Amino acid sequence: MTGLSSALQFLPAMVGKLGLTPAKGVCSRHGEFESAVLPGRVPVCMQCVAEQERVALVASRRQGLLLGCGVPGRYREAKFRDLEPVCEEQRQVIDAFKGWVARAGRDRDVGNVVLLGGTGTGKTHMACAAALNLIGRCGLGVCYTTTARIKEEVCSAWGMAGRDESSELRRFASYPLLIIDEVDVFDQGPALRMLNSVIDRRSADGLPTIYISNQDRDRLIELVGIRAVSRMLESALILQCGWGDYRLRSLKGA
């Protein structure tokens, strides 16, 4: 129940005390209605007011999701159409990813996306464009992170009241959509164990994850391990970004 709807249930008892009088009106959307107004005031369709309140609440929630999704600042306006056309292979990859995004908006059981390819091929841009689309269009909860950041945030919880490693790993494992960039980039220590924990939990719960790596599949297995990569690739849309580096191309053209 919205704040306005909750207040309306007490309106009849308040009408007399506030000097309100019943008034009739006609709404272009909802037809005839009756509301209580101060003398001389124009009656307002309360159904329209309630709908406007719901729209504002949805917009506010989605704005909160956008602010908290972790997408880097340079990608906060990312769209698929912003990517410079390079080759037919790139067009096919973008079309396939856009198709996945459309399905993810309707069905959470869409599987993972694994983006593989060299630096500067637009992998992070595409993933962030997907995230922003799903937040803005569907209100889907999304988190963008990296393997190194997972380790940093989990380790920062050690010894803190109300936070611990297990709860932080559960948090990463529970987002409706998680993007792990630089999935293979981490230092020695607990990072690989933490990454495996998140991958395992999300796989068990059937939650979609977008994994991004500059490595090919064989090298990724060497760095992350066959068990983790097997779960990443299970029922996944695997997108090979084999075209050249956007940044180097722009430098050559300068």
Provide the angle, in degrees to the nearest 10, between the axes of the packed helices 226-233 and 191-205: 30
- pLDDT tens-digit map of 188-218: 789 999 999 999 999 999 999 999 999 999 9
Nearest residue to 192 (alpha-carbon basis) of 151, 141, 241: 151
Is the pTM higher than 0.75? The answer reads: yes
Residue 23: enclosing H or E segment and its boundaries? strand 21-27
CATH code of the domain containing 76: 3.40.50.300
- Tell me: pLDDT of 9 over 70: no
The pLDDT assigned to 6 comes to 53
* pLDDT in the model for residue 254: 45
Residues 157 and 53 grouped into a single domain: no
- Tell me the backbone φ, ψ of residue 17, rounded to 5 degrees: -65, -30
Count of other CB atoms within 10 angstroms of residue 49? 15
Q: Is the confidence at residue 224, as pLDDT, over 80?
A: yes
The mean pLDDT of 168-193, rounded to a whole number, is 94
| Judgement on whether residues 74 and 151 belong to the same structural domain of the protein | yes
Q: Are residues 55 and 79 in the same domain?
A: no
State whether 119 and 96 are in the same domain. yes
